[in-house]
């Protein structure tokens, strides 16, 4: 018998190489957003005399992201995703170049703010399209692992980018600005060519995304999780001061979140499996518990523990939101729904920022806890209803099979094989959901 033909290496290695390039693109994509709070403050200081003016640039970027995410994502259906996301990142890069040049020239501050808004305008759609590209690189069975790696890289980016911006900005604010430009442009070069990733057909382009109750639920969950995390991160300095610690020690609490979120991303990558619904409920409960501990622990140790709890489930929850939304919408709507998820996250950040600036920190945590509790209850009701419906359908199917088997055996006793079959069916393990 002839020896089996050896499979060529190209089909195996090329997708892996392209996936690695996508990971690099995804990891560097978030650098401008992660570095912006520090870099914008350093840029604003010589222009306005106040580092706090950088918050106006951040607000302009975030609001523009919310406004531009859906329209630009819908526009992107007319084009292949890889060239489209490259174009969007190119626009963002030009906006960041404008910020660096205008700041270097000492231009009016409103022009710099306008540059930040332009950079943010394309950010949501670029993220959604970049995430949708992953579906062309890995099968559904490998999505959890790939998204876990992506979440880990994202957290590493959000830990390292502010440090890089602060270190370079200590030398010159221009260095921090140009570092954002260069690192933020890396995805343009790294994104691989994917011949199979083509533009949707005319029928798919004309179909509108249906925001079903389940899609809305997970978007709200994403926004609530983002509000919980941002409340801790934005209020970290105030928390440190309230404990009698130097303001610089406020960095301890965001670092605690980032450390456990990286570990959570590693766990998702190794596990490579979509979690059970009760596990997702537990993760939401841990987030709510962590915020309670931070908001009402009244000590630095309790705040660190709460931050560790919130961070531990950050990457698993983010991965689950992405997975479930991926499954709930048609392929041509993935970029749009992922852009909406990014928008929901941004709205969570805006909500926490506004609350911290308008009311006390305790009131902010009270609102966030209330929102997380509401999300937990609604999600629990939805999951329980789905489980009850599944159980009823399963029991009805078992009863129908038992009746059919009873008819087939004719005069066999009622407690014979039919009853045995029913008992065996009821003893079988239920599905994941």
Kindly write down the DSSP assignment for every residue of 10-65, as one continuous string: HHHHHHHHHHHHHHHHHHHHTHHHHHHHHHHHHHHHHHHS-GGGHHHHHHHHHHHH
pLDDT at residue 373, as a whole number:
93
Question: Per residue in 118-141, pLDDT tens?
Answer: 999 999 999 999 999 998 888 888
Q: Nearest-CA neighbor of 47 among 95, 98, 116, 113? A: 113
Site of tokens 């709930």? 328
Average pLDDT, rounded, for the chain: 83
pLDDT at residue 219, as a whole number:
94
- pLDDT above 90 (res 89): yes
Q: Which long-range contacts does 47-50 make (Cβ < 8 Å, 24+ apart)?
A: 47/103, 47/106, 47/107, 47/109, 47/112, 48/109
User: What's the rounded Cα separation, in Å, for the pair 357 and 370?
Assistant: 19
With cut-offs at 50, 70 and 90, classify the pLDDT of residue 2: very low
pLDDT at residue 246, as a whole number:
81
pLDDT at residue 224, as a whole number:
94
Q: Where are the domains of the chain?
A: 25-206, 211-328+359-433
Q: Which pair of tokens denotes residue 109?
A: 């501050």
**Higher-pLDDT residue of 378, 273:** 378
With cut-offs at 50, 70 and 90, classify the pLDDT of residue 408: low
Phi, psi (deg, nearest 5) at residue 193: -75, 135
Rg (CA), the chain: 25
User: What's the rounded Cα separation, in Å, for the pair 161 and 150?
Assistant: 16
**By the 8 A CB rule, do 315 and 261 touch?**
yes
Q: Which pair of tokens denotes residue 122?
A: 């394309």
Classify residue 190 by burial, with Cβ atoms within 10 Å: 0-12, 13-18, 19+: middle
Question: Per residue in 239-268, pLDDT tens?
Answer: 888 888 887 787 788 888 888 999 998 998
pLDDT at residue 423, as a whole number:
40
pLDDT at residue 369, as a whole number:
93
Q: Nearest-CA neighbor of 182 among 159, 164, 209, 202? A: 164
- pLDDT above 50 (res 422): no
**By the 8 A CB rule, do 324 and 221 touch?**
no
Q: Transcribe 339-393 into DSSP letters.
A: HHHHHHHHHHHHHHHHHHHHS-HHHHHHHHHHHHHHHHHHHHHHHHHHHHHHHHH
Contact partners, residue 371, CB within 8 Å, separation at least 6 = 224, 227
User: What's the rounded Cα separation, in Å, for the pair 338 and 340?
Assistant: 5
pLDDT at residue 72, as a whole number:
92
With cut-offs at 50, 70 and 90, classify the pLDDT of residue 234: confident
With cut-offs at 50, 70 and 90, classify the pLDDT of residue 433: very low
- pLDDT above 80 (res 1): no
Question: Per residue in 315-364, pLDDT tens?
Answer: 999 999 999 999 998 888 888 999 999 999 989 988 888 888 788 888 88
**By the 8 A CB rule, do 96 and 177 touch?**
yes
Q: For domain 25-206, is the CATH number 1.20.1250.20?
A: yes
- pLDDT above 90 (res 101): yes
pLDDT at residue 271, as a whole number:
83
Q: Which pair of tokens denotes residue 425?
A: 């069916």
Q: What is the CATH number of domain 211-328+359-433?
A: 1.20.1250
Phi, psi (deg, nearest 5) at residue 49: 85, 0
Residues 215-238, mean pLDDT to the nearest whole number: 90
User: What's the rounded Cα separation, in Å, for the pair 430 and 391?
Assistant: 9
pLDDT at residue 292, as a whole number:
93
pLDDT at residue 399, as a whole number:
75
**By the 8 A CB rule, do 337 and 329 touch?**
yes
Question: Per residue in 171-225, pLDDT tens?
Answer: 888 888 899 999 999 999 998 888 777 766 666 555 677 788 999 999 999 999 9
**Comparing 25-206 with 211-328+359-433, is the CATH topology the same?**
yes
């Amino acid at each position: 018998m002839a020896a089996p033909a050896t499979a060529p290496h190209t089909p195996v290695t090329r997708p892996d190489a392209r996936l690695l390039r996508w990971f690099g693109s995804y990891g560097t994509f978030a650098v401008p957003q992660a570095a912006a709070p520090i870099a914008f403050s350093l840029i604003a200081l010589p222009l306005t005399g106040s580092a706090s003016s950088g918050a106006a640039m951040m607000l302009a970027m975030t609001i523009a992201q919310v406004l531009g995410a859906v329209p630009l994502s819908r526009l992107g259906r007319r084009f292949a995703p890889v060239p489209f996301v490259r174009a969007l990142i190119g626009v963002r890069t030009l906006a960041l170049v404008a910020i660096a040049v205008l700041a270097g020239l000492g231009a009016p501050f409103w022009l710099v703010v306008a540059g930040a808004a332009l950079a943010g305008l394309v950010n949501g759609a670029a993220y959604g399209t970049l995430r949708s590209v992953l579906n062309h690189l890995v099968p559904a069975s490998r999505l959890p692992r790939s998204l876990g790696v992506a979440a880990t890289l994202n957290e590493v980016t959000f830990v390292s980018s502010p440090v890089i911006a602060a270190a370079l900005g200590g030398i010159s604010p221009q260095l921090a600005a140009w570092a954002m430009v260069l690192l933020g442009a890396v995805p343009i070069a790294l994104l691989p060519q994917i011949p199979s990733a083509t533009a949707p057909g005319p029928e798919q382009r004309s179909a509108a995304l249906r925001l079903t109750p389940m899609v809305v639920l997970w978007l709200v969950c994403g926004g609530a999780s983002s509000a919980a995390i941002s409340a801790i991160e934005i209020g970290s300095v105030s928390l440190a001061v309230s404990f009698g610690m130097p303001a610089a020690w406020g960095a301890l609490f965001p670092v605690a979140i980032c450390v456990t979120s990286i570990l959570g991303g590693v766990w998702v990558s190794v596990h490579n499996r979509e979690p059970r619904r009760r596990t997702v409920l537990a993760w939401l409960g841990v987030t709510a518990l962590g915020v309670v501990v931070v908001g009402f622990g009244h000590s630095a140790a309790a705040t660190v523990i709460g931050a560790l709890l919130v961070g531990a489930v950050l990457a698993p929850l983010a991965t689950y939101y992405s997975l479930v939304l991926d499954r709930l919408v048609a392929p041509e709507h993935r970029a749009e729904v992922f852009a909406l998820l990014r928008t929901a996250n941004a709205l969570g950040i805006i909500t926490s920022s506004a609350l911290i600036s308008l009311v006390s920190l305790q009131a902010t945590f009270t609102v966030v806890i209330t929102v997380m509790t509401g999300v937990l209850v609604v999600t629990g009701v939805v999951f329980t209803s789905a489980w009850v419906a599944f159980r009823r359908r399963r029991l009805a199917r078992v009863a129908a099979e038992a009746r059919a088997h009873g008819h087939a055996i004719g005069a066999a006793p009622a407690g014979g094989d039919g009853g045995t079959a029913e008992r065996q069916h009821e003893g079988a393990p239920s599905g994941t959901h």
